[in-house]
Structure 1
Amino acid sequence: MVIAIGFEGSANKLGIGIIRDGEVISNCRRTYITPPGEGFLPKATAEHHRANILGLLHESLMQAKVQPEDIDVVCYTKGPGMGSPLVSVAVVARTVALLWNKPIIGVNHCIGHIEMGRLVTKSCNPTVLYVSGGNTQVIAYSNQKYRIFGETIDIAVGNCLDRFARVLKLSNDPSPGYNIEQLAKSGVNYVPLPYVVKGMDVSFSGLLSHMEEHAEELLKAYTAADLCYSLQETVFAMLVEITERAMAQCESEEVLLVGGVGCNERLQHMMGAMCAERGATLHATDERFCIDNGAMIAQAGIEMFHCGMITPWEETTCTQRYRTDDVTVKWRS
């Protein structure tokens, strides 16, 4: 029996989770929320993480009913993500590993999402759509790598949604993307928007620029709900298109949605409709596991631990650009 603790802090979510052989026994989280119309900056986000991490660590251990001596391995997010928040959390993870005399493992954030999704949904070998504030990728496993079949060529879909929420001055509590989703439910008029798919890749920056530049005149002809509805329909259709193309290429019969945007009910519905037409299965989770969390880092760390992939102390650094396909996936055959 292996017990792993995972530290996640690559963006505005600070999470610490503990997993015992595939069972989530704690998954605690704190979110840095900024005023409406504002994003989160690295320095202020790192300050939030530093102010909350020790209390969250205590809460996580209490919730799991374990002591430090029960922990077998300490796992932390190595990247990708925002530099200052990543480093702030990694410092605590390294300190804990030293104090508790435990091995340490640096985990790729994206692979944490994938392995958590596979654990929770019991999906076998899915085509993965990873969508969040900082990442948009279509991924499939092949020959000990998570291969990227398509991705955004500029900004991530979550960043696109978040930045439009700022234009509308929507609240960041609990998240701007969630508030766009709720507002979109009352939208009735579709506004034609730029739709940019280039082979297996997508682009959102032109669409966002168009909406930012024309927001004032659009809001005279349409409601904010119409604009949110139209934005979701457009960007999600782009994502469904490239996911279906990857499924055809891989002859896949499963789709796994991961990342913060993956808990959007409209995206799940659109992806589910595509899967139903293909006789395929959609696997998705709720906000407990889609949104950045410590448990996913612990789960990926357990998989690495079983393969002996302990991170040498001199390599327990962070990197803001850490590709999904940079990691050798030794735990899958």
Structure 2
Amino acid sequence: MVVAIGFEGSANKLGIGVVKDGTVLSNPRKTYIPPAGEGFLPRDTAKHHQDHVIKLLKLALKEAGVEPKDIDVVCYTKGPGMGAPLVSVAVVARTVSQLWQKPLIGVNHCIGHIEMGRLVTGADNPTVLYVSGGNTQIISYVQRRYRIFGETIDIAVGNCLDRFARLLKLSNDPSPGYNIEQLAKKGNKLAPLPYVVKGMDVSFSGLLSYIEERAETWLKNNEYTAEDLCFSLQETIFSMLVETTERAMSNTNSNEVLIVGGVGCNLRLQEMMQAMANERGAKVYATDERYCIDNGAMIAQAGSLMFTSGQITEWEDTFCTQRFRTDEVEVTWRT
């Protein structure tokens, strides 16, 4: 029986979660929301996390009904992510580990998403589409590694959506991607946008530049509404993601898809993936905003699995890294 506490702060979400043998006891989260038309800067995001992390830690313990003595292992996001926010939260995790005299485990952010998705949905051995503000990867488990079959060669899908939301001056509350999704539901005219799939990889930077250069003219001349442009952007980039995911499934003879990451909450993406899966006789697994958006419980869950399989992060290795590849981690907890 393992009780793990997880600290997540790789981007604008600060989360602390407590997990006991696969049961989430608490999972509070605090989001830094910048003004409309602006992104979140590392310095400001780190300050937000520093201001709220102690309150959130107390809340996580209170909601879980546990005390420090009940915790078996402290887990934190080692990377990937934004440097300043990562470090600001890791410092607290290291301090807590020393104060409570508990072992410490550095968790790969993406693997946290995958293991939380597998836990919540019950997916066995799925092809994983990991889509978030900073990451876009298509992943399959092969020979004790989460292998990256395809990925973005430039910016992430969430970053593409966020930057277009800034152009339209959409609110960042609750998130730019969510507000694009709501506008897209009212759009029905498809604008011709670049569709860039290169084998198993995708590219979004050229598509973003193309729509940014033309959006003002299109809106001014009433060729397309803002709703149409959000609809067009979603349809195009999600089609690219579904195509490459299906190709990975074909390569691995997979009949399961698991969508994880913040963009994975998008119901249109889930709908398009389901249509593809139906044609293949496959099943789609997805989670809601409690677990697809960055949270502390996913770090606790992945860290708990690592801990029970014998992994511990040596003290000199408890640093953070902005570039931490998913396939760098040996998956010792799966057979």
> Is TM-score (shorter-chain normalized) higher than 0.5?
yes
Q: CA RMSD in A?
A: 0.4
For 1:147, what is the secondary structure of its paired residue?
strand
For 1:276, what is the secondary structure of its paired residue?
helix
Q: For the residues of structure 1 that align with 2:264 and 2:172, how far apart are their CA atoms?
A: 18
* Corresponding position of 1:296: 298
- 1:30 is displaced (CA, Å) by 0.3
For 2:166, what is the secondary structure of its paired residue?
helix
- 1:264-283 aligned at under 5 Å gives the runs 264-283=266-285
TM-score, with normalisation over the residues of structure 2? 0.99
* Corresponding position of 2:250: 248
Aligned letter for 1:75?
C
1:39-88 CA distances to partner (integer Å, 9 max, x unpaired)? 00000000000000000000100100100100000000000000000000
Residue 214 in structure 1 maps to residue 225 in structure 2: no
Instruction: Structure 2: give runs of 5+ residues left out of the alignment.
Output: none
Q: For the residues of structure 2 that align with 1:26 and 1:216, how far apart are their CA atoms?
A: 45
* Corresponding position of 1:117: 117
Aligned letter for 1:3?
V
- 1:269 is displaced (CA, Å) by 0.2
Aligned letter for 1:215?
A
* Corresponding position of 1:180: 180
- 1:215 is displaced (CA, Å) by 1.4
- 1:219 is displaced (CA, Å) by 1.1
* Corresponding position of 1:86: 86
Instruction: Structure 1: give runs of 5+ residues left out of the alignment.
Output: none
Q: For the residues of structure 1 that align with 2:44 and 2:216, how far apart are their CA atoms?
A: 31
TM-score, with normalisation over the residues of structure 1? 1.00
- 1:256 is displaced (CA, Å) by 0.2
For 1:39, what is the secondary structure of its paired residue?
coil
* Corresponding position of 1:41: 41
1:137-160 CA distances to partner (integer Å, 9 max, x unpaired)? 000000000000000000000000
Aligned letter for 1:99?
L
For 1:15, what is the secondary structure of its paired residue?
strand
Aligned letter for 1:138?
I
- 1:211 is displaced (CA, Å) by 1.1
User: Would you identify which runs of 4 or more consecutive aligned residues in structure 1 move more than 6 Å?
Assistant: none
- 1:329 is displaced (CA, Å) by 0.3
- 1:40-79 aligned at under 5 Å gives the runs 40-79=40-79
Q: For the residues of structure 2 that align with 1:78 and 1:225, how far apart are their CA atoms?
A: 38
Residue 226 in structure 1 maps to residue 224 in structure 2: no
Question: How many residues align structurally?
Answer: 333
- 1:308 is displaced (CA, Å) by 1.1
Aligned letter for 1:247?
M
Q: For the residues of structure 2 that align with 1:279 and 1:126, how far apart are their CA atoms?
A: 14
